[in-house]
Amino acid sequence: MARILTSGPGTRAALSDLALLAFRVILGIVFIAHGWQKISENGFGGQADAFEAMGIPAPAVAAAFAIIIEFGGGIALLAGVLMPVVGVLLFVDMVGAFIYVHAGTEIFVDAGGWELIAVLGFGALLLAIVGAGRFSVDWLVAGRKRTAPVVA
C-alpha cells in the first residue's frame, strides 16, 4: 500500500503537500479555538488577571501576545502565510505555557499535563522549518518571486 501511495516523485510531493495542508488546518483550528476561548471567556483584561494569578511576568503583555498569536496565528496557519515567523511565535507561546503553567506536571492533559502544548508547539515549529507546502499563500508568493522577470 505504501508503495502505491508513493510510487513516483510527483505523487509523493503531492501527498506531502496534502498532508501539510491537513496538518496546518487542524493545527490552525486548535489555535484559533484556544485564542477565541481566551477572548470570549476572559477578554484581554480577564486573561491578564488570570496570567497574573499564575505568576506569569508582564501579564498584560503576555495575555495580549497569547490571544493575538493563538487566534491570528491560527488564521495564518489556515492560509499558510508567513510560516517561518508564525510557527516560531506559536512555538514561543507554547514554551511559555510549558514554563509557567505545565512544567512539573504529569504528561496527560486531563491532569493539567503538557502533552497538548508539546504537540502544538512542536507542530508549529515543524511548520516554521519545513514550510506551509504547495497549497498556501507562502507558496504562491514564493512562486511569483521565482517566475518574476529579471530586469537587467
Q: Which domain holds residue 129?
A: 15-147
Q: Determine, yes or no, domain membership for 9.
A: no
For residue 6, pLDDT over 60 is answered with no
pLDDT at 145: 66
Q: Determine, yes or no, domain membership for 4.
A: no
Q: What whole-number distance in Å separates Cα of residue 33 and Cα of residue 30?
A: 5
Residue 8 binned pLDDT confidence (cut-offs 50, 70, 90): low
**Mean pLDDT, the chain, whole residue set:** 92
Q: How many structural domains does the chain have? A: 1
For residue 148, pLDDT over 60 is answered with no
Q: What is the pLDDT of residues 68-121, one digit of tens each?
A: 999 999 999 999 999 999 999 999 999 999 999 999 999 999 999 999 999 999
Q: Determine, yes or no, domain membership for 7.
A: no
Q: Determine, yes or no, domain membership for 2.
A: no
- Say if residues 86 and 63 touch (Cβ distance below 8 Å): no
Q: Determine, yes or no, domain membership for 105.
A: yes
Sort residue 101 into left (φ over 0), alpha (ψ -120 to 50) or beta.
Answer: alpha
Chain centroid offset of residue 140 CA: 20
Q: Determine, yes or no, domain membership for 152.
A: no
Which of 30-39, 79-88, 138-147 is the least confident region? Answer: 138-147
Q: Determine, yes or no, domain membership for 91.
A: yes
Pull the grid cell for residue 6. Answer: 508513493
Q: What is the CA radius of gyration of the chain?
A: 18
Chain centroid offset of residue 145 CA: 25
pLDDT at 1: 47
Question: In the Cβ-directed half-sphere of 10, how many Cα atoms lie within 13 Å?
Answer: 0
